């Protein structure tokens, strides 16, 4: 990944990274490009994906994080417990943007699970204003395009943020890096843009937004204004756009192992249609999974 700057965030011990509205400002270290260490398996569980709520668990080398808090704390705790995961051992919660299906329970996750919460300052301001987040006693700000180093003990995990044109206050998507392995979590993208094309070439696996089928959206019951938003430059990727992006990555990235389609519309898509569209584009080159809007996905590994 190129572009953006690098910022160290030591979690749970806030020593030298990010800015905290509660602590009066923390020192920002410029760590440079993360050193590539031995490969460490990355494990990922999509706890839920869709307009009704989003949350993703990622763990590698003993460091675990949650990305987004769009499902209830009770659901997150129960679904992780089914896989033997104690949610309170996560090093941090990262929020991608201020929309309710990604951010609405961030404050509850902090208060119940003791998780530090990391997001951009415009995202926090918009979410606090609209979603009643409540008190967050450990709030870390990063800037869109910066990278975070999340530590627990001697182990660490890098998370690179990528600014997106989605129509939130200050949206980002993420690439998680451990050793020589990278996982992309690419959702709520707006449209395909240059830095996204760069990011998909760098990952070993990806969760990739495949929100709608254009014909279903056009024929559906949504108001024209909402249809325009969904397919517009600040909306979501269609099945075709997602399939083209994965095919682009495959043509330039021999290490891509799998793709998981996420943020599927309930009304304007089906899992079968989304997978079929991708298969028509690049055949059986890699496994294609679907992140459910109703339950956890199971454990995918990188």
DSSP character string of 70-127: -S-HHHHHHHHHTTT--GGG-SEEE---SSHHHHTTHHHHHHHH---EEE-HHHHHHH
Spatial distance between the Cα atoms of 129 and 198, rounded to a whole number of angstroms: 34
Rounded Cα–Cα distance for residues 223 and 265 (Å): 15
Residues in a beta bridge with 293: none
Give the pLDDT mean for 260-275.
98
Using pLDDT thresholds of 50, 70 and 90, give the confidence band for residue 12.
very low
Sequence-separated (6 or more) residues with CB below 8 Å from residue 63:
91, 150, 151, 152, 155, 156, 157, 178
Strand-pairing partners, residue 289, are 260
- For residue 294, name the pLDDT band (cuts at 50, 70, 90): very high
Q: Say whether pLDDT at 76 is over 80.
A: yes
Q: Dihedrals φ, ψ of 110, to 5°? A: -65, -50
Task: State the pLDDT confidence band at 39, using cuts at 50, 70 and 90.
Answer: low
Query: Is the pLDDT reported for residue 35 higher than 80?
Result: no
Tallying the residues shown for the chain, one arrives at 302
Domain ranges, ordered by start, for the chain: 6-29+41-301
The vertex-260 CA angle with 188 and 43, nearest 5°, equals: 105
Cis status, amide bond into 174, omega within 30 of 0: no
pLDDT (average), residues 270-287: 98
Q: How deeply is 57 buried, as exposed, middle or buried, from its count of CB atoms within 10 A (0-12, 13-18, 19+)?
A: buried
- pLDDT of 254: 85
Say what the pLDDT of residue 38 is: 55
Rounded CA separation 179/203 (Å):
12
d(CA 223, CA 280): 30
Does residue 143 contact residue 119 with C-beta atoms inside 8 Å?
no
Architecture of domain 6-29+41-301: 4-Layer Sandwich (3.60)
Is residue 241 classed as helix, strand or coil in its secondary structure? helix
Given pLDDT bands bounded at 50, 70 and 90, which one contains residue 15?
Answer: very low
Question: Per DSSP, what are the bridge partners of residue 160?
Answer: 147, 175
Give the H or E element holding residue 239.
helix 239-252
User: Alpha-carbon distance 218 to 257, whole Å?
Assistant: 33
pLDDT tens digits for 96-153?
999 999 999 999 999 999 999 999 999 999 999 999 899 999 999 999 999 999 988 8
pTM of the model: 0.88
Say if residue 30's pLDDT is above 90: no
**In Å, how far are 11, 19, 87, 145, 213 from 138, measured between CA atoms?**
10, 10, 17, 21, 40
Helix, strand, coil percent content, the chain, rounded in steps of 5: 25, 25, 45
- Give the Cα separation of 270 and 105 in Å (integer): 27
Cα–Cα distance, 16 to 247 (Å, whole number): 40
């Amino acid at each position: 990944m190129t572009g953006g700057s690098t910022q160290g965030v030591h979690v749970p011990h806030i020593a030298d990274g990010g800015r905290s509205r509660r602590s009066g400002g923390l020192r920002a270290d410029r760590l440079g490009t993360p050193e590539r260490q031995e490969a460490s398996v990355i494990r990922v569980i999509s706890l839920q994906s869709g307009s009704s709520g989003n949350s993703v668990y990622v763990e590698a080398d003993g460091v675990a994080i949650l990305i987004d808090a769009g499902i209830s704390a009770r659901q997150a705790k129960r679904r992780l417990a089914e896989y033997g995961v104690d949610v309170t051992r996560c090093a941090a919660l990262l929020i991608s943007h201020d929309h309710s299906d990604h951010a609405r329970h961030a404050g509850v996750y902090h208060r119940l699970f003791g998780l530090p919460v990391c997001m951009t300052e415009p995202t926090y301001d918009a979410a606090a204003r609209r979603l009643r987040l409540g008190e967050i006693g450990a709030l870390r700000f990063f800037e869109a395009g910066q990278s975070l180093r999340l530590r627990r003990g001697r182990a660490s995990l890098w998370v690179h943020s990528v600014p997106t044109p989605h129509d939130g206050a200050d949206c980002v998507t993420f690439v998680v890096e451990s050793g020589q392995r990278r996982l992309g979590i690419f959702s709520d993208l707006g449209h395909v843009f240059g830095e996204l094309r760069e990011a998909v070439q760098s990952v070993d696996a990806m969760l990739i937004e495949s929100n709608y089928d254009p014909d279903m959206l056009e024929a559906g019951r949504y108001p024209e204004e909402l249809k325009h938003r969904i397919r517009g430059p600040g909306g979501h990727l269609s099945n075709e756009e997602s399939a083209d992006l994965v095919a682009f990555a495959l043509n330039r990235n021999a290490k891509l192992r799998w793709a998981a389609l996420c943020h599927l519309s309930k009304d304007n898509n089906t899992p079968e249609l989304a997978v079929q569209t991708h298969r028509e584009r690049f055949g059986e080159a890699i496994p294609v999974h679907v992140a459910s809007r109703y339950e956890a996905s199971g454990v995918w590994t990188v």
